[in-house]
Structure 1
Amino acid sequence: MLDHLADRLETILEKSGRILSVLPLILVLVQFAIVLMVYVFATGSIKLQESLQYINALMFLGAAGYTAIHDGHVRVDVFYSKFNRRRRAQVNFWGTLLLLVPFLILMWVSAVPYVLDSWSILEESVESSGLPFVYILKSTLLLFTFTLSLHAIISLIRNRHALKRM
Protein backbone atom coordinates (compact mmCIF):
# COMPACT_ATOMS: atom_id res chain seq x y z
CA MET A 1 0.00 0.00 0.00
CA LEU A 2 2.66 2.54 1.04
CA ASP A 3 5.01 1.31 -1.69
CA HIS A 4 2.26 1.98 -4.22
CA LEU A 5 1.87 5.53 -2.85
CA ALA A 6 5.64 6.08 -3.08
CA ASP A 7 5.61 4.83 -6.68
CA ARG A 8 2.78 7.21 -7.61
CA LEU A 9 4.47 10.19 -5.96
CA GLU A 10 7.75 9.32 -7.66
CA THR A 11 5.95 9.25 -11.01
CA ILE A 12 4.70 12.79 -10.35
CA LEU A 13 8.22 13.99 -9.59
CA GLU A 14 9.64 12.18 -12.63
CA LYS A 15 7.10 13.79 -14.95
CA SER A 16 7.63 17.24 -13.47
CA GLY A 17 11.39 16.83 -13.83
CA ARG A 18 11.03 15.90 -17.48
CA ILE A 19 8.74 18.85 -18.15
CA LEU A 20 11.11 21.26 -16.41
CA SER A 21 14.16 19.83 -18.19
CA VAL A 22 13.55 22.18 -21.14
CA LEU A 23 14.12 25.23 -18.93
CA PRO A 24 17.94 25.30 -19.11
CA LEU A 25 17.70 25.53 -22.89
CA ILE A 26 15.07 28.27 -22.65
CA LEU A 27 17.25 30.12 -20.14
CA VAL A 28 20.23 30.02 -22.49
CA LEU A 29 18.13 31.16 -25.46
CA VAL A 30 16.60 34.07 -23.55
CA GLN A 31 20.00 35.13 -22.25
CA PHE A 32 21.39 34.91 -25.78
CA ALA A 33 18.51 37.08 -27.05
CA ILE A 34 19.23 39.68 -24.35
CA VAL A 35 22.93 39.81 -25.23
CA LEU A 36 22.08 40.05 -28.92
CA MET A 37 19.61 42.88 -28.28
CA VAL A 38 22.05 44.84 -26.13
CA TYR A 39 25.28 44.41 -28.07
CA VAL A 40 24.03 44.12 -31.64
CA PHE A 41 20.85 46.19 -31.69
CA ALA A 42 21.68 48.59 -28.80
CA THR A 43 18.31 48.05 -27.15
CA GLY A 44 17.10 46.20 -24.10
CA SER A 45 14.04 44.76 -22.44
CA ILE A 46 13.46 44.79 -18.71
CA LYS A 47 10.68 42.22 -19.13
CA LEU A 48 13.03 39.88 -20.93
CA GLN A 49 15.73 40.39 -18.29
CA GLU A 50 13.25 39.76 -15.47
CA SER A 51 12.03 36.62 -17.23
CA LEU A 52 15.43 35.10 -16.44
CA GLN A 53 14.54 35.20 -12.73
CA TYR A 54 11.26 33.40 -13.40
CA ILE A 55 12.91 30.72 -15.51
CA ASN A 56 15.70 30.27 -12.98
CA ALA A 57 13.29 30.03 -10.04
CA LEU A 58 11.07 27.55 -11.83
CA MET A 59 14.06 25.50 -12.94
CA PHE A 60 15.76 25.23 -9.55
CA LEU A 61 12.83 25.37 -7.15
CA GLY A 62 10.49 23.31 -9.30
CA ALA A 63 13.01 20.54 -9.86
CA ALA A 64 14.11 20.21 -6.23
CA GLY A 65 12.03 17.09 -5.60
CA TYR A 66 13.10 15.51 -8.90
CA THR A 67 16.74 16.15 -8.07
CA ALA A 68 16.28 14.73 -4.58
CA ILE A 69 14.76 11.43 -5.73
CA HIS A 70 17.76 11.02 -8.02
CA ASP A 71 20.11 11.81 -5.13
CA GLY A 72 21.47 14.73 -7.11
CA HIS A 73 21.80 17.26 -4.31
CA VAL A 74 25.17 18.08 -2.85
CA ARG A 75 25.96 15.81 0.07
CA VAL A 76 28.88 16.10 2.43
CA ASP A 77 29.50 12.40 2.86
CA VAL A 78 32.66 11.99 4.85
CA PHE A 79 31.16 8.87 6.41
CA TYR A 80 28.04 8.14 4.33
CA SER A 81 29.93 6.74 1.34
CA LYS A 82 31.54 4.13 3.59
CA PHE A 83 28.25 3.01 5.19
CA ASN A 84 26.54 -0.24 4.26
CA ARG A 85 22.99 -0.21 2.82
CA ARG A 86 21.30 -0.57 6.21
CA ARG A 87 23.25 2.29 7.76
CA ARG A 88 22.54 4.50 4.74
CA ALA A 89 18.83 3.74 5.04
CA GLN A 90 18.98 4.70 8.73
CA VAL A 91 20.76 7.97 7.95
CA ASN A 92 18.30 8.77 5.18
CA PHE A 93 15.24 7.91 7.27
CA TRP A 94 16.29 9.81 10.39
CA GLY A 95 17.80 12.68 8.41
CA THR A 96 14.54 13.11 6.52
CA LEU A 97 12.43 12.82 9.66
CA LEU A 98 14.52 15.03 11.94
CA LEU A 99 15.98 17.56 9.49
CA LEU A 100 13.99 17.73 6.26
CA VAL A 101 10.48 17.40 7.69
CA PRO A 102 10.93 20.23 10.26
CA PHE A 103 12.45 22.39 7.51
CA LEU A 104 9.45 21.67 5.27
CA ILE A 105 7.01 22.50 8.07
CA LEU A 106 8.79 25.82 8.54
CA MET A 107 8.69 26.44 4.79
CA TRP A 108 4.95 25.72 4.58
CA VAL A 109 4.20 27.93 7.58
CA SER A 110 6.34 30.78 6.22
CA ALA A 111 5.75 30.54 2.48
CA VAL A 112 1.98 30.16 2.36
CA PRO A 113 1.15 33.54 3.96
CA TYR A 114 3.98 35.21 2.02
CA VAL A 115 2.65 33.92 -1.30
CA LEU A 116 -0.99 34.56 -0.42
CA ASP A 117 -0.17 38.18 0.45
CA SER A 118 1.49 38.56 -2.93
CA TRP A 119 -1.51 37.03 -4.72
CA SER A 120 -3.97 39.19 -2.77
CA ILE A 121 -2.47 42.35 -4.29
CA LEU A 122 -1.39 40.71 -7.57
CA GLU A 123 2.11 41.97 -6.87
CA GLU A 124 3.97 43.43 -9.82
CA SER A 125 7.56 44.28 -10.59
CA VAL A 126 9.03 47.39 -8.99
CA GLU A 127 10.18 48.37 -12.48
CA SER A 128 7.50 50.26 -14.38
CA SER A 129 8.16 48.24 -17.54
CA GLY A 130 8.83 44.98 -15.68
CA LEU A 131 6.76 41.82 -15.54
CA PRO A 132 3.46 42.15 -13.68
CA PHE A 133 3.62 38.61 -12.28
CA VAL A 134 5.76 38.73 -9.12
CA TYR A 135 3.05 36.75 -7.34
CA ILE A 136 3.69 33.87 -9.74
CA LEU A 137 7.43 34.13 -9.13
CA LYS A 138 6.84 33.92 -5.39
CA SER A 139 4.59 30.90 -5.92
CA THR A 140 7.65 28.92 -6.97
CA LEU A 141 8.45 28.76 -3.23
CA LEU A 142 5.32 26.65 -2.80
CA LEU A 143 6.29 24.50 -5.76
CA PHE A 144 9.68 23.94 -4.13
CA THR A 145 8.08 23.03 -0.81
CA PHE A 146 5.52 20.78 -2.47
CA THR A 147 8.01 18.79 -4.55
CA LEU A 148 10.43 18.45 -1.65
CA SER A 149 7.52 17.31 0.56
CA LEU A 150 6.71 14.61 -1.97
CA HIS A 151 10.35 13.54 -1.87
CA ALA A 152 10.29 13.44 1.94
CA ILE A 153 7.24 11.15 1.90
CA ILE A 154 8.88 8.88 -0.67
CA SER A 155 12.14 8.82 1.29
CA LEU A 156 10.43 7.94 4.57
CA ILE A 157 8.41 5.15 2.95
CA ARG A 158 11.30 3.65 0.99
CA ASN A 159 13.87 3.85 3.78
CA ARG A 160 11.45 2.49 6.40
CA HIS A 161 10.69 -0.38 4.07
CA ALA A 162 14.40 -0.96 3.46
CA LEU A 163 15.07 -1.07 7.21
CA LYS A 164 12.28 -3.60 7.75
CA ARG A 165 13.71 -5.90 5.06
CA MET A 166 17.25 -5.88 6.44
Structure 2
Amino acid sequence: MKTIIGMTALCTSIAAILLTGCGAERTAAKPAALDKNFDKTAVIEYFGREYTAKLRRGGEGVWECSFISPDTVAGLKMTSDSEVCRMEFDDIEYLCSRGQYPEYGLLPLLTGSLDALITGEDISCTEHRDHTEEKGETAGQPFTANISGGELLELEIEGCMKAEFT
Protein backbone atom coordinates (compact mmCIF):
# COMPACT_ATOMS: atom_id res chain seq x y z
CA MET A 1 0.00 0.00 0.00
CA LYS A 2 2.82 2.39 0.91
CA THR A 3 4.47 1.56 -2.42
CA ILE A 4 1.30 2.39 -4.38
CA ILE A 5 0.83 5.70 -2.52
CA GLY A 6 4.52 6.54 -2.97
CA MET A 7 4.45 5.72 -6.68
CA THR A 8 1.23 7.71 -7.14
CA ALA A 9 2.76 10.72 -5.38
CA LEU A 10 5.93 10.44 -7.47
CA CYS A 11 3.99 10.15 -10.75
CA THR A 12 1.74 13.07 -9.77
CA SER A 13 4.77 15.22 -8.94
CA ILE A 14 6.49 14.37 -12.22
CA ALA A 15 3.29 15.05 -14.19
CA ALA A 16 2.84 18.41 -12.44
CA ILE A 17 6.41 19.44 -13.27
CA LEU A 18 6.10 18.34 -16.90
CA LEU A 19 2.70 19.92 -17.44
CA THR A 20 3.49 23.27 -15.85
CA GLY A 21 7.00 23.34 -17.28
CA CYS A 22 9.65 25.80 -16.29
CA GLY A 23 8.31 28.68 -18.33
CA ALA A 24 10.96 28.39 -21.04
CA GLU A 25 9.02 30.75 -23.27
CA ARG A 26 5.78 32.68 -23.33
CA THR A 27 4.11 35.23 -25.52
CA ALA A 28 5.09 38.72 -24.42
CA ALA A 29 2.46 41.42 -24.06
CA LYS A 30 4.50 44.08 -25.84
CA PRO A 31 7.79 44.52 -27.69
CA ALA A 32 10.97 45.40 -25.82
CA ALA A 33 11.71 49.12 -25.80
CA LEU A 34 14.66 49.85 -28.09
CA ASP A 35 16.43 53.19 -27.93
CA LYS A 36 14.94 55.61 -30.47
CA ASN A 37 18.46 57.03 -30.91
CA PHE A 38 19.79 53.73 -32.25
CA ASP A 39 23.59 53.81 -32.64
CA LYS A 40 25.30 50.45 -33.14
CA THR A 41 27.88 48.60 -35.17
CA ALA A 42 26.60 45.59 -37.10
CA VAL A 43 28.21 42.65 -38.82
CA ILE A 44 25.81 42.00 -41.69
CA GLU A 45 25.59 38.98 -43.96
CA TYR A 46 23.59 39.96 -47.03
CA PHE A 47 23.07 37.28 -49.69
CA GLY A 48 26.27 35.51 -48.63
CA ARG A 49 28.51 38.60 -48.45
CA GLU A 50 29.70 40.02 -45.16
CA TYR A 51 29.77 43.72 -44.30
CA THR A 52 30.52 45.68 -41.15
CA ALA A 53 28.74 49.00 -40.77
CA LYS A 54 27.98 51.66 -38.21
CA LEU A 55 24.23 52.42 -38.10
CA ARG A 56 22.82 55.54 -36.54
CA ARG A 57 19.19 56.70 -36.39
CA GLY A 58 18.65 60.44 -36.58
CA GLY A 59 14.90 60.36 -35.99
CA GLU A 60 11.88 58.61 -37.42
CA GLY A 61 12.88 57.19 -40.81
CA VAL A 62 16.24 59.01 -40.85
CA TRP A 63 19.29 56.73 -40.97
CA GLU A 64 23.02 56.97 -41.53
CA CYS A 65 25.02 53.89 -42.46
CA SER A 66 28.83 54.04 -42.68
CA PHE A 67 30.53 50.93 -44.01
CA ILE A 68 33.71 49.79 -42.28
CA SER A 69 34.42 46.61 -44.24
CA PRO A 70 35.12 44.96 -46.63
CA ASP A 71 37.76 47.23 -48.14
CA THR A 72 35.79 47.59 -51.39
CA VAL A 73 33.05 49.57 -49.60
CA ALA A 74 34.92 50.88 -46.54
CA GLY A 75 34.23 54.60 -46.31
CA LEU A 76 30.89 54.46 -48.15
CA LYS A 77 28.36 56.53 -46.21
CA MET A 78 24.65 56.29 -46.96
CA THR A 79 22.10 58.64 -45.45
CA SER A 80 18.39 58.19 -46.06
CA ASP A 81 15.09 59.65 -44.98
CA SER A 82 11.54 59.38 -46.29
CA GLU A 83 12.36 61.41 -49.42
CA VAL A 84 15.99 60.92 -50.47
CA CYS A 85 18.98 58.65 -50.20
CA ARG A 86 22.45 60.16 -50.34
CA MET A 87 25.57 58.09 -50.98
CA GLU A 88 29.06 59.47 -50.40
CA PHE A 89 32.31 57.71 -51.24
CA ASP A 90 35.63 59.53 -51.27
CA ASP A 91 34.86 62.72 -53.25
CA ILE A 92 31.86 61.27 -55.08
CA GLU A 93 28.32 62.06 -53.99
CA TYR A 94 25.13 60.61 -55.43
CA LEU A 95 21.62 61.67 -54.49
CA CYS A 96 18.43 59.86 -55.50
CA SER A 97 14.80 59.97 -54.50
CA ARG A 98 13.65 57.25 -52.13
CA GLY A 99 11.43 55.90 -54.92
CA GLN A 100 14.50 55.25 -57.10
CA TYR A 101 16.28 53.36 -54.35
CA PRO A 102 15.71 49.56 -54.46
CA GLU A 103 13.08 48.53 -51.91
CA TYR A 104 14.89 45.23 -51.26
CA GLY A 105 18.36 46.74 -50.93
CA LEU A 106 20.44 46.19 -47.82
CA LEU A 107 19.76 49.61 -46.28
CA PRO A 108 15.96 49.82 -46.83
CA LEU A 109 15.40 46.29 -45.52
CA LEU A 110 17.66 46.76 -42.51
CA THR A 111 16.41 50.21 -41.51
CA GLY A 112 12.78 49.30 -42.23
CA SER A 113 13.08 46.39 -39.81
CA LEU A 114 14.83 48.54 -37.22
CA ASP A 115 12.17 51.27 -37.47
CA ALA A 116 9.44 48.64 -36.98
CA LEU A 117 11.25 47.26 -33.92
CA ILE A 118 11.77 50.73 -32.45
CA THR A 119 8.13 51.79 -32.91
CA GLY A 120 6.80 48.34 -31.95
CA GLU A 121 4.08 48.50 -34.61
CA ASP A 122 2.83 45.11 -35.87
CA ILE A 123 5.45 43.23 -33.85
CA SER A 124 4.73 39.91 -32.15
CA CYS A 125 6.86 38.84 -29.20
CA THR A 126 7.87 35.66 -27.45
CA GLU A 127 9.82 35.82 -24.21
CA HIS A 128 12.54 33.23 -23.69
CA ARG A 129 14.70 32.76 -20.59
CA ASP A 130 17.49 35.10 -21.71
CA HIS A 131 15.98 37.17 -24.54
CA THR A 132 12.81 38.30 -26.28
CA GLU A 133 12.18 37.19 -29.85
CA GLU A 134 10.32 39.79 -31.89
CA LYS A 135 8.84 39.14 -35.33
CA GLY A 136 7.54 41.54 -37.91
CA GLU A 137 7.63 42.40 -41.59
CA THR A 138 9.28 45.04 -43.76
CA ALA A 139 8.66 45.46 -47.51
CA GLY A 140 6.75 42.17 -47.38
CA GLN A 141 9.76 40.33 -45.95
CA PRO A 142 9.41 38.62 -42.55
CA PHE A 143 12.09 39.31 -39.97
CA THR A 144 13.03 38.01 -36.52
CA ALA A 145 15.02 39.92 -33.90
CA ASN A 146 16.52 38.82 -30.60
CA ILE A 147 16.59 41.46 -27.86
CA SER A 148 17.98 41.22 -24.34
CA GLY A 149 17.85 43.93 -21.68
CA GLY A 150 16.62 46.48 -24.23
CA GLU A 151 19.61 45.79 -26.51
CA LEU A 152 19.24 44.37 -30.01
CA LEU A 153 21.49 41.32 -30.35
CA GLU A 154 20.63 40.07 -33.83
CA LEU A 155 18.20 40.54 -36.67
CA GLU A 156 17.41 38.12 -39.47
CA ILE A 157 15.39 38.92 -42.58
CA GLU A 158 14.21 35.63 -43.96
CA GLY A 159 16.23 34.37 -46.91
CA CYS A 160 18.54 37.34 -47.41
CA MET A 161 20.13 38.99 -44.37
CA LYS A 162 21.44 38.35 -40.89
CA ALA A 163 22.96 41.06 -38.69
CA GLU A 164 24.65 40.88 -35.29
CA PHE A 165 24.88 44.10 -33.29
CA THR A 166 27.42 45.43 -30.80
Please give the TM-score of this superposition, normalised by the length of structure 1: 0.26
Greater relative contact order (CA < 8 Å, ≥ 6 in sequence): 1
Relative to its length, the structure with more strand (as a share) is 2
Please give the TM-score of this superposition, normalised by the length of structure 2: 0.26
Work out which of the two has the higher radius of gyration on C-alpha atoms and give 1 or 2: 2
